[in-house]
Chains A and B, each alone.
Chain A
Amino acid sequence: MSDLSFDAVVIGGGHNGLVAAGTLARAGKSVCVIEQSDHLGGMASSVDLGDGVVGPLMAHLVFNMDDKIAKELGLRDSLQSDPLPSISLAPDGWHVVMEGRVARFANGRPHPDANAYRDLHDRLLRYAALLSQLADRSPPQFSGGLSDLSTLRELAAMAKLGIDMKRLGKADLREFLRVILSNAYDLVLDEMSDGPLAGAICADAVRGNFVGPRSPGTVFTLMYRMGAGGVPRLPKGGMGQLSQALGRAAEAAGAKIITGTGVSDIEVKDDVITGVTLSDGRQIATRAVLSSTGPMCTAQLAGVENFDVEAVRRLRNMRAKGTVAKLNLVLRDVPRIDGLDDRLMAGRLLVAPSAEAVEQSFNPAKYGEIGPRPVLEAVIPTLSEPDQSGAHVMSITIQHVPHTPDGGWDMVGRERVIASAVDQLEMHMPDLGSQITQAHLLTPADIEAATGAPGGHWHHAEMGIDQILNLRPINGAGRYAFAVPGLYLCGAGAHPGGDVTGRPGRNSAKQLLQDGVI
């Protein structure tokens, strides 16, 4: 006997799970979210760092959320905050500031590559807008034949994409097709000389993925992050508030949220979903399950025997090497950087002194080693919204940290990762070390343990050319429906991918409704 019964159950109360639940609830479906941890948000959460100091658990900035979606999800308020400038820190003190299409030196002097930057930025933004049309819905498939309503709908969308691509003009279109599969390193250095500006673009191109700027497909990932403009913001009240707001919106629409117990089993009978079992033993009857945890974990919850052998093989080979560590530093006081005013200090600080340096940052990770000079993205949210404790938090993502170094993680390894970040930042803020009262590090292995994300990967599955659109996360599961009738993927591993976007969750719920499962 089941303890509860819903039209749909959502596995995972990360932001995508909450968005999926909200979307279904607003469509009048009864839905229940099951989150294994005791808090909502998954990678997009806040964390108590001790003594009441609150910081972003993992994700810290929102840059990839469409206005339209934010509004639909009731996040307008949360994203009312000012856009942050990005500052690429330069060893020689000539820090580069990027705001929208403008690049300049922090000292007010014009940057010699400002025009090249503006042109590249505008071009990428145009292309990104095209790609983003594909991100708003299930990827095209056209298998239904021309008499099929859903095929016609897809065709209409593709026709619009086609028209928009035509509008690009011949030269632009040729350029779009040329760069889409190429690498960021060549793209950037074709236009400008190497240095902190080129480094910053390359760092954005690789962030979250197991690649260097010379890896193919990194122009695509760069465009991906610009799909909604790419302007970074700190959500009001922190990342946790954003997820809380999504949770409240889902509940207001009628969704039920259960935390502190995970889904331990997805029940399948005669090739249809019949329910889920929770780790506390409770059973929930349902005909649809939307899962935001990793694709392979989802398959295992449902039992791999319910999947075709080829699908399981693809899942086994799905690439998901987590490569970003998270470091939260609690600081007594704000460190200073020469030449940066308060507004810039509160911005997005990048350590990526050159495209070459970003490539170098990747090299050790390839061999499972901890590198001395990884690419960093840091922000001090307490400068934009002071913490009640009066302390400051510096939230840092460290790119190119191996999931598990050779020989496993130990204190020495963890200290080396922390030092690799602090040492590089201290070049610019010499008083940093003396301000640190606490350092909280999450390695990719820790992130995997905490969220279940495959490999602790930012996107749950590498955003490679072989794992996007119809092929995301694997060939044959590109449209959210995941083999067993009634089972859907709705997390970052599904199309279009990770970041705080809400898109996989929203698209998946819409596809489920369209498929008429419930």
Chain B
Amino acid sequence: MPRDTQAVTVPLGAIATPFHPRLEALSTAKQWSNWAGFISPAVLDTVEFEYFAIRNQSTLYDISPMKKYSITGPDAERMLNRMVTRDVRKLRDGRVGYVMWCDEEGMVIDDGTLFRQSGQAFRLCCQEPMYSWLLDCGWGFDVEIRDDSDAVAALALQGPTSFSLLSDAGFEIADLKPFDWREVEPGLWISRTGFTGDLGYELWVDRAVALPLWDRLWQAGQHWGIRAVGYDAVNICRIEAGFLAARVDFQAVHATERLHRGRTPLELGFEKLVHFDKGHFNGRRALLKQRDKGLRTHLCKIDIDGFKPADGALIYHRKRREVGHVTSGVWSPTAKRNIGLAELKAPYGKSITKDLWVEIYVFEEGVWDKRIVPLTLTDRPFYQPARARLTPPAAF
């Protein structure tokens, strides 16, 4: 074959997602961040507007930088069941499951959502690049693994009016239950999933038809107060919902260089998703050992006095002994509480839950001040509206 002699320009720096032309036009803040190499809005307008839009209206958030893999073939279920900690056999066609997968030492490599299309076809969605890991996992199984990250564009449509918006846009999704997904039109899949804890959907489409989809939603959304949002607002919502962010609340073990920086699903509080009774899965033997010997840390939801977000603050027992730190901290405008997630050294966070304190530094007009404020542990998400679970969702 004759070689193409024309020079191809490779763009330098962050890459535009399929939705970038629309985001660019909407951005007044021009606050872009780099999400896995893609240009992604931190804020498009103001965080406050965007946050309240997620909680009260409908919002579009471009999740195209997520990694998406298709796993198909006669052994797809067996292969994935060996990879992730939960029992994939129980995930029915058209369902989505939150999954974690571990290395041989039981340390979480990443978490993500596993979409079952049919008996032999799955899609895995996650933050970290996972292609070579999936190939390793697939060795010895009759499966085909494809990296669809670039081929598939994705949008999160979240907020209380999102169902009404989709209906107006002509999608019949009234019967979609939380964690259902379906191909609603050829090549367009809608799942009732999201990262905000509220009613919401995610839409998956070939990148070539990304912009028409955006426009269709935007148009239908005019009645429903649609806004585009950036990560900063989404992040407040995900902390309110109690969801973990990889590389924030835990370190994806393959991305760590130091020893013992990884965490197990048990330490992250996900024993319910570790199905020891399903036979072998990666890291199972190490996890069993840890279950017997005891965990090193506990990841907890926390509620802090005052209203100064405690992101990164150190945690003390009896104001003296350092026992952990806040991994994500934010003022929750809806719950009106100062909330967060924290990692505590065992047994703090499990058998010792009282007399815990957070040290917060405040900088006010040139002066640093230190406050030590009480912290309480909670096990429920800070934000969990009933409408998020209703099927069919209430029309607005």
The interface of chain A, by Cβ under 8 A from chain B, is 268-271, 300, 304-313, 316, 476, 483-484
Q: Which residue of B lies closest to A305 (CB)?
A: B82
Q: If the complex has contacts A270-B279, A271-B284, are A308 and B104 also in contact, measured as CB distance less than 8 A?
A: yes
The answer to whether B277 touches A270, judged by C-beta atoms less than 8 angstroms apart, is yes
A selection of 12 A-B contacts at a CB cut-off of 8 Å is A271-B279, A304-B140, A305-B279, A306-B280, A308-B103, A309-B104, A309-B133, A309-B139, A309-B282, A312-B139, A476-B104, A483-B285
> B299 an interface residue at 8 Å Cβ cutoff?
no
Among A306, A309, A483, A484, the residue within 8 A (CB) of B136 is A309
Distance in Å: Cβ of A468 to nearest Cβ of chain B: 21
B133 surroundings in chain A (CB, below 8 A) = 309
- Nearest-CB residue, chain B, relative to A484: B280
- In whole angstroms, what is the CA distance A509 to B122 when docked? 43
The interface residues of chain A lying within 8 Å CB-to-CB of B141 are: 304-305
Contact A312 B280 (CB under 8 A): no
Bound CA span A307–B79, Å: 12
How many residues of chain B are within 8 Å of chain A by beta carbon? 20
* Residues of chain A contacted by B337 (CB below 8 angstroms): none
Interfacial chain A residues near B323, Cβ < 8 Å: none
> In the complex, what distance in Å separates the CA atom of A465 from the CA atom of B141?
31
Residue-by-residue, is B102-116 near A (CB-CB < 8 Å gives 1, otherwise 0)? 011000000000000
A305-B82, A310-B104, A476-B104 given as contacts; is B280 within 8 A of A271 (CB)? yes
List 7 additional contacts besides A270-B277, A305-B79, A308-B285; criterion CB under 8 Å: A271-B280, A305-B141, A307-B280, A309-B133, A309-B137, A312-B136, A312-B140
A300/B283 in contact, CB under 8 A? no
Q: Is the CB of B139 within 8 A of A308?
A: no
How far, in angstroms, from A309 to B140 measured CA to CA in the complex? 10
Q: How far is the CA of A312 from the CA of B136 in the complex (A)?
A: 8
Residue in B133, B140, B141, B284 with the greatest tally of chain A CB atoms within 10 Å = B140
Chain B nearest CB from A517 CB (Å) reads 15
Instruction: Tell me the smallest distance from the CB of A321 to a CB of chain B, in Å.
Output: 20
Any chain A CB within 8 A of the CB of B78? Answer: yes
Q: Return chain B residues, CB-CB under 8 Å to A307.
A: 280
- Alpha-carbon separation in the docked complex, A484 to B285 (Å): 9
A172: min CB distance to chain B, Å? 35
- Bound complex: CA A271 to CA B278 (Å): 9
- Which of A268, A310, A476 has the largest number of chain B CB atoms within 10 A? A310
Inside 8 A of A308's CB, which chain B residues have their CB?
103-104, 282-283, 285
B residues whose Cβ falls under 8 Å from a Cβ of A: 78-79, 81-83, 103-104, 133, 136-137, 139-141, 277, 279-280, 282-285
The reply to whether B140 and A300 contact each other, CB–CB distance below 8 Å, is yes
A483 to B279, CA, bound (A): 13
How many Å from the CB of A434 to the closest CB on chain B? Answer: 52
Chain A minimum-CB-distance residue to B81: A305
Provide the residues of chain A in CB contact with B137, threshold 8 Å: 309
A478: min CB distance to chain B, Å: 14
Residues of the A chain whose Cβ atoms lie less than 8 Å from the Cβ of B140:
300, 304-305, 312
Q: Which residues of A contact B103 (CB under 8 A)?
A: 308-310
- Are the CB atoms of B139 and A304 closer together than 8 Å? yes
- When A and B form their complex, which 4 residue pairs have the shortest distance between CB atoms, in order from nearest? A308-B104, A304-B140, A305-B82, A310-B104
Min CB gap B136→A, angstroms: 5
Contacts of B79 in A (CB 8 A): 305
| Residues in chain B near residue A312, CB distance under 8 A | 136, 139-140
Complex CA–CA separation, A42 to B280 (angstroms)? 32
Identify the closest chain B residue to A485 (Cβ).
B285
Residues on the B chain within 8 Å of A300, using CB? 140
Cα-based distance from A205 to B168 in the complex (angstroms): 79
Instruction: Give Cα distance in the complex from A310 to B136, angstroms.
Output: 8
Say how far A145's CB is from chain B's closest CB, in angstroms.
Answer: 11
Most A CB within 10 A of own CB, among B83, B104, B136, B137: B104
Output the least CB separation between A232 and chain B (Å): 41
Report the bound CA distance from A131 to B104 in whole Å.
31
Cα of A312 to Cα of B138 in the assembled complex, Å: 11
A483 vs B79: C-alpha distance when bound (angstroms): 18
Q: How far is the CB of A150 from chain B (nearest CB, A)?
A: 16
Contacts of B277 in A (CB 8 A): 270
Shortest Cβ distance from residue B308 to the other chain A in the assembled complex, whole angstroms: 43
Given contacts A310-B103, A310-B104, A476-B104, A305 and B280 within 8 Å (CB-CB): yes
Which A residue's beta carbon lies closest to that of B138? Answer: A309
Q: Please tell me if the beta carbons of B78 and A305 are within 8 angstroms of each other in the complex.
A: yes
Closest to A314 in B: B104
A476, B139: Cα distance in complex, Å: 19
Q: How far is the CA of A476 from the CA of B284 in the complex (A)?
A: 15
Query: CA separation between A434 and B78, bound complex, in Å?
Result: 61
- Give chain A nearest CB distance to B75 CB in angstroms: 9
A203 vs B277: C-alpha distance when bound (angstroms):
53
What residues of B have a CB within 8 angstroms of the CB of A484 in the complex?
A: 280
Instruction: List residues of chain A with CB within 8 A of the CB of B284.
Output: 271
A313 near B136 with CB under 8 A, answer yes
Residues of B with C-beta under 8 A to A268: 279-280
A309 in contact with B279 given A271-B284, A304-B139 (CB within 8 Å): no
B192 to chain A, nearest CB (A): 31
Minimum Cβ distance to chain A for residue B280 (Å): 5
- Please determine whether B83 and A309 come into contact, CB atoms closer than 8 angstroms: yes
- Looking at the assembled complex, report how far the CB atom of A298 sits from the nearest CB atom of chain B, in whole angstroms: 13
The residues of B that contact A270 with a CB separation of less than 8 Å are 277, 279
B62 to chain A, nearest CB (A): 32
Give, as a whole number of angstroms, the nearest-CB distance from B198 to chain A. 36
A313 — which chain B residues lie within 8 A by C-beta? 136, 139
Q: How far is the CA of A401 from the CA of B139 in the complex (A)?
A: 30
In the complex, A14→B41 CA distance in Å? 65
Per the bound structure, the CA–CA distance linking A373 and B75 in Å amounts to: 49
Contact A311 B104 (CB under 8 A): yes
- Report the minimum CB–CB distance from A402 to chain B (whole Å): 25
Taking CB atoms, residues of chain B closer than 8 Å to A306 are 279-280
CA distance A81 to B82 in the complex (A): 53
